[in-house]
Chain A
Amino acid sequence: MKRAIALALRHLGSLLAVAVLVVPVALVAPGYLRGELHRANGDWSVFTPPPAVKYNEALTAGVMAHVPSHASLATVGAHLGAPWTRWVAYVIAPRRLTNAPAQWTMVFGEMPQHAHLHPVRSWRYGADWLVER
């Protein structure tokens, strides 16, 4: 009899342990499922920026299309410390953004000639330009 009680208690212990460990999962499950549904409705491309990052997607796509990988890119009219530059650096890698003059330049908000650049080739993306010197 004692053995039977001990056996029952041992299983009861396991059941109680399972209950203690499953309760937190049950508590957080609804939020988890809501997150899954939200994610399932999402739509994105490689150029879609993260929230709060605003940048010229077409220009970045142009960089990917025209600038050879491993080339360096200078910028005119933009500060490399701006938050969006990190995102652009990630998207265009292994091309590198640089502070120094380079064969390739992204010109923001003005004509390449106004920035004293003499392009061999140039592409316009809205108000911004991609220039090869």
Chain B
Amino acid sequence: MHVVGALAALLVFLPLGAGVLLLTGAWRLARGVLRVGLALFAGLATGAVVLPPLLYIGLSPTIPVVLLLGALVLAAGVVVARRRTFSAEEGGSREEMKAVSIGPLGLLVIAAPLVLLAVDRVRTRITTHDAYANWMLKAKLLYYDGGTFLGALDHRVFAVQSGAAPGHREYPIGVPALMAVVLHGASGNVPDAALLYPALLGGFALVMWTVLRPRVPQWPLLAGLSLVLWQPMTRFLALDGTGDLPVSVFFVASVLLFGLWLAEETPGALPLAALCGAAALACKRDALADCAVLALFALVETFRSRRPDLIRRMAIAVALMFGSIVPWRLFVSLHHLRTPEVSLGSKHLASNLHHVGYIAGLLAHRLLGGNYAYVVPIAAGVAALALVRGPSRRLPTAVAVFGLGLFAVLIVVYVNATVNLGSLLRLSAGRTVYPLTLFAASILPLLVVRVLREESRGQEAR
């Protein structure tokens, strides 16, 4: 029954997500089951962004709170969507966007690994130190403390140093807040409530389908989805119960949606991209570095278009994305919570600088491992091939520059380590490279198809 309750609790994010899709204009991106899946993913992303500030002001992450929030956002979304349709019809400029759909085969390819993962998830207890000392402990405390509407954030635990307080109290609490809502459905059963993880992964797969399906034939895209979903590290992190999977799926979903908007200015893609980026920032501190690279890349790419309207819209989206972290940073600052491991511009920077080669080598060694199904070297190889062969070099250049940017920013983060660099790398490198591998895996179908299409066009011309 806990499993049914957990699944029902996940569904309470649906009205919230539907409202967000209507508000952002992303409602027309997809139709049918795909739209429902996108709405759930958008609802979870919104929950990750909105629930922590609500916690800070005294509201609890409970099912009634999420439903009330969902009702408000859905009502606002319906009004805004009606006005948008009305004004478009009045102006006679109603452009029909072709909504993406997903068939039974696509659903089967996504559902098969997810169902296996979900079965594993409910049968797997939480045993990773990070999970039980930090993420799930916070979620349990948020679930048990507080009432139906108020008072779940106990400052004795989250803000003041006490006996065995949760680890990393300086982290954002998006994931524990989402977990706490699902725990209300699962009657406090943590392994069942962690069905949140397969749900997030499924939502990400549907975002990937929405973005890539109009550009990639069905079979290569199905193979690409399998690569993402069957990747051993994906499974490991989904069973782990830490913040690494949520932060990665929200971040890479944001990358794909920003890419979609940069390539085609698809209506609704930009606000949804900013929302997913904000959700990544609400999940883990690591996302600050990844999202900084994403924001820089997106802004530079938009500036190159020399179109003031696009630059303005992108600047607003990036500002809103980073603006979402203000409540969390205020809470951390007010309670003097500091991270003991990494601090930008720390005095350790000078002593760590000569370790750059060691850091890069160890990160590269992880990326070349079988746990990531070799996706990064394959994607790098395909991008290099596309760059050499041409004629269209925009996509491979963007993938290469962005991938190198993510890799470089990881080096910058580790160079600023304030603890023993070797042990920090050994403990965390396998997880911190995951967003990069997920990005490589999700963009690989598009890259491969583009390269082969150029090849066949070349042969056709010859």
Contact = CB atoms under 8 A, between A and B. Distances in A.
Interface of A: 2, 5-6, 9-10, 12-18, 20-22, 24-25, 27-29, 31-32, 35-36, 39, 44, 46, 48, 50-51, 69-70, 75, 80, 83, 85-90, 93-94, 96-99
B120 interface: yes
B136 A90 contact: yes
Contacts of B305: none
Q: Which 9 A-B pairs have the closest CB atoms?
A: A94-B144, A50-B127, A21-B223, A13-B452, A17-B220, A86-B133, A9-B456, A89-B164, A24-B373
A16 B125 contact: no
A28 B226 CA distance: 12
Contacts of A46: 125
Q: Say whether chain A's binding surface is mostly helix, strand, loop, or mixed.
A: helix
A21 B445 contact: yes
Contacts of A24: 227, 373-375, 378
17 contacts: A13-B453, A13-B455, A13-B456, A14-B452, A16-B448, A16-B452, A28-B230, A28-B370, A48-B125, A50-B127, A70-B145, A75-B163, A86-B129, A90-B133, A90-B137, A90-B140, A96-B162
Given A28-B231, A44-B125, A70-B145, 9 more contacts: A27-B374, A28-B230, A28-B232, A29-B230, A36-B116, A86-B132, A89-B164, A90-B136, A96-B164
B17 interface: no
A125 B227 CA distance: 50
A9 B460 contact: yes
Interface in B213-263: 217, 219-220, 222-224, 226-227, 230-232, 235
Interface in B173-228: 217, 219-220, 222-224, 226-227
B360 interface: no
B420 interface: no
B416 to A, nearest CB: 25
Contacts of A44: 125
B140 A93 contact: yes
B459 A94 contact: no
Contacts of B145: 70, 94
Interface residues of B, number: 53
Contacts of A15: 219
Contacts of A6: 456, 460
Given A21-B448, A39-B124, A27 B140 contact: no
A95 B436 CA distance: 39
A39 B226 CA distance: 22
Contacts of A70: 144-145
Interface in B437-457: 444-445, 448-449, 452-453, 455-456
A106 B212 CA distance: 57
B78 interface: no
A69 B116 CA distance: 35
B128 A22 contact: no
A37 B163 CA distance: 39
B226 A22 contact: yes
Contacts of B371: 28
Nearest to B137: A90
B449 A13 contact: yes
B123 interface: yes
A106 to B, nearest CB: 11
Nearest to A89: B164
Interface core residue of B116, B132, B382 (most chain A CB under 10 Å) = B132
B107 interface: no
Interface string B13-31: 0000000000000000000
A25 B163 contact: no
B156 interface: yes
Contacts of A88: 164
Contacts of A69: 144
Interface core residue of B123, B145, B224, B456 (most chain A CB under 10 Å) = B456
Contacts of A27: 370, 373-374
A44 B190 CA distance: 14
Interface core residue of A5, A13, A25, A31 (most chain B CB under 10 Å) = A13
A9 B223 CA distance: 19
A18 to B, nearest CB: 5
A50 B456 contact: no
Interface string B119-152: 0100111111100110011001100110000000
Contacts of B166: 89
Interface core residue of B129, B157, B445 (most chain A CB under 10 Å) = B129
A98 B137 CA distance: 15
A39 B235 CA distance: 13
Contacts of B5: none
Interface core residue of A27, A36, A93 (most chain B CB under 10 Å) = A93
Contacts of A21: 220, 223-224, 226-227, 444-445, 448
A49 B126 CA distance: 10
A26 to B, nearest CB: 10
Interface string B339-381: 0000000000000000000000000000000110111001000
Contact of B223 (A17, A32, A83): A17
A34 B171 CA distance: 35
B167 interface: yes
Contacts of B141: 93-94
A14 B218 CA distance: 9
Nearest to A85: B164
Nearest to B125: A44
